[in-house]
Structure 1
């Protein structure tokens, strides 16, 4: 026996010549009447900003996400505000979990188009989960969705500008999970099993923290202490330095399913240690702005100076071009590509430690256009 259709799905299977609905009707076909297409396009443009866009987010997926967000908000508020007026003055975040079948999702995604299948709608939902835009639960009977808070869409500029940040030591107990989740979005494009990535990343971050915690730092929001930026400077053993001259994919670890770490840490006091490997450097996309980028980069200089106390002969620093945005930042700070991996499309980048320490970070990053446009 089929279940009762959700009220706002009642118009789904009507004829193509849809009539203008009353204010009480919130069927997916009528989403454009509640939040105009041009306003939807504004939200899509914010999501597609190069400085904020998650790796793997296409314009089509962004459009699907915005329509789903509108629909879930309307569905939730229909029960408590039956006289909800059209059009919506602003797009607010739905609260908590909201049931949504694949049939509903298909109607939301394909309204006004050649209708896609429920299966393809389910695959789109899974992709939005992998991109960190929504969460999904299934209890055996009902699919429930939750829209994740997105500061670049939901918060006003005044609220964003009022936030303050501080750089602090990485706390393996309380920071690993939160950092792993935003790092995973940078690595999703490399992995088929995206759901397992945050778990693996958190475990490896804690392993590195046991090896050399001094090289691990976070950028925190001062209001809630949550990490929104992170880096790992890893003193590399002399035996592993050859990896910097081999294909970069060999040295990937956070995004790899291999348990063995391809890079070994140098023991404190090792006079043969001459190189630092930047194993990770990232700021969560909503917070990737000029002040925060400068704050974290200037802390990197201080960290290198402290590491020289443990490893007096440090002179080289290497990194990988995991994300195009981070590649732009590295280039602005004087890093040069030395070896490109044609298989996975990433490169080694190199900078002299002496030059990095002497760099005027604020001046260097002022040339990065996307940081100035936010």
Structure 2
């Protein structure tokens, strides 16, 4: 499928119809231009998948969601986005793809070699919505062999606003997840779809060595390791059995869209409580529980489950959070989050560091 021929396989008038529906009602951050790029990308990935499976026969009359991830280079995207305009660069197309990821319209996988894109269902444009279907979920141990790449890619969206090298971040996170799983796997958990076994949520409790505890009293921006170019983690992991380990960091806690529901958030937090109880057997003197939030929109969740901001708060989007281990374990999660609302499109719930 040649991207330059997209208008022949999905006519302009049909594109305009989808674009209008996409921007009505108005959505923050979604301009008409971005909506146009998304619709053209959606049509192209659907056509490309049909061609790869030998089912490409005639022009599209409507858009359906392609199955899973479809390969798409930045050059292909540039030909799609800028076919009838002044030629845009491959780099500009790659940046636009990242914007569409941030808007919650697509998912992007990058394993160091190939970019693959998955179209996310848009409730009023598709006949099926994953949340409307009876999808079952389970909380399970993180599998470094099968989960690392998927988890790394949705975690990487946390850091898009801080780094212009977003293609590198998933690769770095993939390596780190597998390294951490080798050191202390029992504190790494995923929320998993039962039908596909795909991880759609992830958390990690990071037992912090006593010599690194000082970092929790310094500016948190200094401890943002995953989004930096540094090869040295500012926070050292404690060794199981070390009686001097008194602190645990929620190194990451995130549920990917569109799977954020009260039930999933509650079950994931309750599992975190159980994991923390299990860690007390390896670290008998755990007292303090820290987390980091990198966006103010997630403060409501963290405050509801007992965390409080500590330290310098001049940077409102990055702050250390604290609660005691005892207080957290005594919390009734279902009651604690009962008044919160979770959006299913365009924003994840996440604590990370």
How many residues are paired up? Answer: 328
Query: Which residue pairs with 1:302 in the alignment?
Result: 274
| Preserved contact between residue 177 and residue 198 of structure 1 (Cα < 8 Å) | yes
Query: Which residue pairs with 2:78 in the alignment?
Result: 102
User: In structure 1, what is the Cα distance between the partners aligned to 2:260 and 2:107?
Assistant: 21
SS of corresponding position for 1:287 = coil
User: In structure 1, what is the Cα distance between the partners aligned to 2:5 and 2:176?
Assistant: 47
Could you tell me which runs of 5 or more consecutive residues in structure 1 were left unpaired when the two chains were aligned: 10-23, 49-57, 109-114, 138-143
SS of corresponding position for 2:286 = coil
Query: Which residue pairs with 2:22 in the alignment?
Result: 40
Provide closer, same or farther for how the CA distance between residues 337 and 149 of structure 1 changes in structure 2, counting only shifts above 3 A. Answer: same
Tell whether 2:250 aligns with 1:281. Answer: no
Provide closer, same or farther for how the CA distance between residues 74 and 262 of structure 1 changes in structure 2, counting only shifts above 3 A. Answer: closer
CA shift for structure 1 position 80: 4.5
Query: Which residue pairs with 1:13 in the alignment?
Result: none
| Preserved contact between residue 131 and residue 185 of structure 1 (Cα < 8 Å) | no
SS of corresponding position for 1:118 = coil
| Preserved contact between residue 218 and residue 229 of structure 1 (Cα < 8 Å) | yes
Tell whether 2:310 aligns with 1:338. Answer: yes
Larger Rg: 1
1:165 to 134, 137, 141: 137
Relative to the length of structure 1, the TM-score reads 0.75
User: In structure 1, what is the Cα distance between the partners aligned to 2:97 and 2:344?
Assistant: 28
Query: Which residue pairs with 2:44 in the alignment?
Result: 72
| Preserved contact between residue 290 and residue 323 of structure 2 (Cα < 8 Å) | yes
Bigger drift between 120-129 and 250-259 goes to 120-129
For residues 188-207 of structure 1, the aligned pairs below 5 Å read 188-207=160-179
User: In structure 1, what is the Cα distance between the partners aligned to 2:79 and 2:339?
Assistant: 48
Provide closer, same or farther for how the CA distance between residues 212 and 130 of structure 1 changes in structure 2, counting only shifts above 3 A. Answer: farther
Query: Which residue pairs with 1:119 in the alignment?
Result: 88
Query: Which residue pairs with 1:149 in the alignment?
Result: 119
Query: Which residue pairs with 1:93 in the alignment?
Result: 66
| Preserved contact between residue 19 and residue 39 of structure 2 (Cα < 8 Å) | no
User: In structure 2, what is the Cα distance between the partners aligned to 1:191 and 1:373?
Assistant: 23
| Preserved contact between residue 250 and residue 289 of structure 2 (Cα < 8 Å) | yes
CA shift for structure 1 position 369: 1.9
Relative to the length of structure 2, the TM-score reads 0.79
SS of corresponding position for 2:160 = helix
Query: Which residue pairs with 2:219 in the alignment?
Result: 247
CA shift for structure 1 position 205: 1.1
Could you tell me which runs of 5 or more consecutive residues in structure 2 were left unpaired when the two chains were aligned: 347-353
CA shift for structure 1 position 64: 3.9
User: In structure 1, what is the Cα distance between the partners aligned to 2:15 and 2:211?
Assistant: 60
Q: CA offsets per residue over residues 140-165 of structure 1, 9 Å max, x none?
A: xxxx9965131455572476441111
CA shift for structure 1 position 231: 0.7
